[in-house]
Structure 1
């Protein structure tokens, strides 16, 4: 029998206890990804002057669409805005 400290959670507590929980979590992830893609496509529809007002360009949006390695599209666009503000 393993003992755990009061602030620790077991592996089972962090996982989905039922197949239904896992399914609903997957549906939520798919829905969030679709909303991000829709927002990014909306940004692609803006003209260059509006994008410049936001501090980004189309290349930054394309980079955000393929964000990987733990980076979210928001993180990519925020970094681009900061980089473009310095320039």
Structure 2
């Protein structure tokens, strides 16, 4: 039987490809989360003055490490922006 459109293809024929794609996506997300965790841990090695120059503190990093599901990069960016705003307009 010939299928002219991809929408005519049986769904079971696409299932193995979808499964492999899902597994590959899961591994890619896990690798990205690990890379971010390593980056945050390397920031913990900085002294307090350097972290203050970056606009964050150790507590911000600990919160980012403890709650990776709550978009820690966005949270750190917001803290940096708030710190910059307070520095420019006390």
Same fold (TM over 0.5): yes
The structure that is helix-richer by fraction is 2
What is the CA distance between 1:61 and its match in structure 2? 0.8
Extract unaligned runs of 5+ from structure 1: 1-11
Aligned pairs, how many? 71
* RMSD, aligned α-carbons: 2.0
**1:2-81 alignment to 2 at 5 Å?**
17-65=17-65, 66-68=67-69, 71-81=70-80
What is the CA distance between 1:67 and its match in structure 2? 4.2
Contact (CA 8 Å) 1:67, 1:76: kept in 2 or not?
A: no
Contact (CA 8 Å) 1:44, 1:61: kept in 2 or not?
A: yes
What is the CA distance between 1:18 and its match in structure 2? 2.0
Which residue does the alignment assign to 2:4? none
SS in structure 1 of the partner of residue 63 of structure 2: helix
Distance in 1 (CA, whole Å) between partners of 2:18 and 2:54 is 44
Pick the structure with greater CA Rg.
Answer: 2
Extract unaligned runs of 5+ from structure 2: 1-10
What is the CA distance between 1:17 and its match in structure 2? 4.9
Distance in 2 (CA, whole Å) between partners of 1:52 and 1:67 is 22
Provide the TM-score with structure 1 as the length reference. Answer: 0.71
SS in structure 2 of the partner of residue 46 of structure 1: coil
